[in-house]
């Protein structure tokens, strides 16, 4: 059982420590028994951050439109957002601990 696993709920953002020793931000999109689909730090910063400048807001708005269009999680996994590093998917086994 991963320490802090109960924090991994849809729409919750936080930070987790991976078994590789890396600490990363996450914003949960979905979680199941084996995998976690989440917004990365980049995604949270550029799409969801409340402190965006006007040009950043425009970009964030266009990215949100992509998210809205890809209603299906499976589509999100294969979307350009994942390729650009806004979204990532990870095996739960790779998580050492959910810090918060």
Partner 1 sequence: MRIFSKDEEKILIRLDELAGTKKQQELGEINPVNLYSLIQLKLNDAGFVVDISNNKVTVTFEKNLPQKSARLGELQLIIVQSVNLLKLLEDKGYIYTFKKDISLDLIPFGKYNFETPSSPYTFSDKRIVDLVIKYSTEEIYPTLELNHFVKTDNFQTRESARFNKQYKRTTAALSVAMAALVVNIVFNVYTNFFKSLFKRGENKGKATLQIENKNYDSSKNKPKFDKPKLLIEDSFPMDSLTRENAKNKKP
Nearest CA to 35 among 70, 79, 2? 2
Taking CB under 8 A as the rule, does residue 62 contact partner 1? no
**Cα 14 from chain centroid (whole Å):** 10
Taking CB under 8 A as the rule, does residue 11 contact partner 1? yes
Q: Which is nearer to partner 1, 4 or 77 (CB)?
A: 4
* Piece of 7-15, 68-76, 79-87, 88-96 that binds partner 1 (CB under 8 A): 7-15
Binding mask 29-58 for partner 1 (x = CB under 8 A): ----------x-x--xx--xxxx-------
Give the separation between CA 48 and CA 33, rounded to whole angstroms. Answer: 26
* Piece of 24-32, 75-83, 85-93 that binds partner 1 (CB under 8 A): 24-32
Burial group, residue 16, by CB count within 10 angstroms (0-12, 13-18, 19+): buried
């Amino acid at each position: 059982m991963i320490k802090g696993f109960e924090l991994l709920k849809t729409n919750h953002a936080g930070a987790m420590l991976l078994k590789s020793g890396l600490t990363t931000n996450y914003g949960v999109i979905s979680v199941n028994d084996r995998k976690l689909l989440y917004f990365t730090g980049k995604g949270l910063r550029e799409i969801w951050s409340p402190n965006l400048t006007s040009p950043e807001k425009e970009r964030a708005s266009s990215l949100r439109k992509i998210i809205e269009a890809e209603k299906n999680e499976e589509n999100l996994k294969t979307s350009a957002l994942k390729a650009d590093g806004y979204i990532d998917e990870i095996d739960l086994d790779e998580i050492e601990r959910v810090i918060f």
